[in-house]
Amino acid sequence: MGKDAPDPPDYEGLARQEAEASRRNTQYQTRANRPNQYTPYGSSEWDIDPETGESTQNIALNPDSQAALTSQQRVGRDLSGTGENLTGRVAGDLANPVDYDQFREYGDIGDYDERRQGAEDAAYSRAESRLNPYWEQQTGDLDVQLRSQGLVPGDEAYDRAMGNATRARTDAYSAAQDDSVRQGRQESQLAYGQQMGEAELDSTTRQSQISEELQKRGWTINEINSLISGREVGMPGMPEFRGAGRWETPQLMAAGNNQYSAALDQYNAKQAGFQGMMSGFGSLASGGMSFG
């Protein structure tokens, strides 16, 4: 290429310049996005190294909040120690499994049919205790009366009178049987209701006893949790802000390359014009044209 040809750009130097510009842009953006902030509850400040860009955030509470935090940490330390001392008691509380046999038994309402039958039998037995002597006396008196009239077993009148008495006795016992069924049902229903109430009371009592026992076993654990938990002093809340956008790094290499390309194009065009002019002079000389 001729002596007037443009020199190519220093790509290595341009690359270093671009890298340095990108580093500075990143540092500027970092600084813009890390402002110091101050609120009634505390502050947030940044220390940024101007050379390396390394940053350190320092958050501080206001004096009242800092005093509360210090006090809370001191109380928390003491309560945690107390809770730790209680862990031995927890081991004792949980050393043995719960003995459910110690609690009141669940209520049992029993067999309803068995109670009903028992009530019926009792009612019929009571009626029978009155009917037996009555009908024995009635039958005896009737036999005496009939015999005093000269009637004896086998006589139509005697047998008819004794048959009527027997049927009346059967009806009386049948009525007693029906009444005993009615009374048995009433008494068994009443007993069932009472038994149901007692069973519910037994079951409720058992559940209360179990709940109380389980509560006693977990009481120490709840005490420890209460000691070591509480409302903590939070970090000061800072208002939001809109971060800075990223600066574009200057495209030095691209600009240099474009500038070189333009200069080279201009040089090539100039060289093409010179070569055309020289070619014209050669044509004139070969045709015998002279000057002078």
Q: What is the pLDDT of residues 85-129, one digit of tens each?
A: 777 777 777 767 877 788 777 666 666 677 778 888 888 888 889
Provide the pLDDT for residue 291: 45
Yes or no: say if 101 and 79 are a contact pair by the CB < 8 Å rule: no
Yes or no: say if 33 and 245 are a contact pair by the CB < 8 Å rule: no
The residue type found at 120 is E
Q: In this predicted structure, which of 43-57, 181-195, 263-277 has the lowest mean pLDDT?
A: 263-277
Provide the pLDDT for residue 234: 60
Yes or no: say if 9 and 259 are a contact pair by the CB < 8 Å rule: yes
pTM above 0.85, yes or no: no
What is the tens place of the pLDDT at every residue in 208-244? 888 887 777 777 777 777 766 655 556 666 666 555 5
Gap between the Cα atoms of 86 and 223, Å rounded? 9
Provide the pLDDT for residue 242: 55
CA dist list (Å): 215 to 55, 145, 207, 219, 220: 53, 83, 12, 6, 9
Yes or no: say if 238 and 39 are a contact pair by the CB < 8 Å rule: yes
pLDDT of 254 higher than 90: no
Yes or no: say if 246 and 29 are a contact pair by the CB < 8 Å rule: yes
Gap between the Cα atoms of 18 and 48, Å rounded? 23
- Number of Cβ atoms within 10 Å of the Cβ of 184: 20
pLDDT of 280 higher than 70: no
Degrees, nearest 5: CA angle 4-8-12? 155
- Reported as a pLDDT band with limits 50, 70 and 90, residue 77 is confident
Yes or no: say if 176 and 127 are a contact pair by the CB < 8 Å rule: yes
CA dist list (Å): 58 to 44, 155, 250: 6, 132, 34
The residue-averaged pLDDT of 65-70 equals 84
What is the tens place of the pLDDT at every residue in 25-37? 776 777 777 788 8
- Reported as a pLDDT band with limits 50, 70 and 90, residue 292 is very low
Burial of 103-138, coded b for 16+ CB within 10 Å and e otherwise, reads beeebebeeeeebbeebbeebbeebeeebeeebeee
